[in-house]
Amino acid sequence: MAASTFSQWTLDVRDVDLMSRFWSAALGYRIDRDDEGDGAHLWPPDDAPAGALSVWLQPSAGPKHGKNRNHPDLVAAAGTAHAEVERLLSLGATRADVGQTGREGFTVLADPEGNEFCVLHHRSP
């Protein structure tokens, strides 16, 4: 029996253009605006591993409230996790405090609209 697999990460956003630029730069994905001009689909690069998730940014009128109940964990494609954190900060991410102790194997950041995500210090096996 086949199981389900992840295909896409969907994120509600207020500013589709801003968030498309941020996540496209963060992930190296191509932006494809939908035909109606509302949301944006971000597609992995041609050389991405098989099964790489696409991203759908769907417009939402309301602001984000509280800590996300789920979030993506990123790993540096090249270089160190520290260098990747600095790169993401230069793109508009901010450091986020969700109660971490400082001993975690990840750094918590937030995108320009405050959605938390982590940069893992080491790739999971």
* 38 compared with 35, residue with greater pLDDT: 38
Residue 83 sits at φ, ψ, to 5 deg, of -65, -35
pLDDT at residue 37, as a whole number:
66
Look up the domain containing 44 and give its range: 1-63
Strand locations in 19-103 (E): 30-33, 40-43, 54-59, 73-74, 94-95
Q: How many domains does the chain have?
A: 2
Domain boundary among 41, 63, 85: 63
Asked if 84 and 119 sit in the same domain, the reply is yes
pLDDT digits 0-9 by tens, 43-89:
999 999 888 999 999 999 888 888 888 899 999 988 899 999 999 99
Closest CA to 23 of 125, 82, 83, 109: 109
DSSP code of 81?
Answer: H
pLDDT digits 0-9 by tens, 16-30:
999 999 999 999 999
Asked if 6 and 42 sit in the same domain, the reply is yes
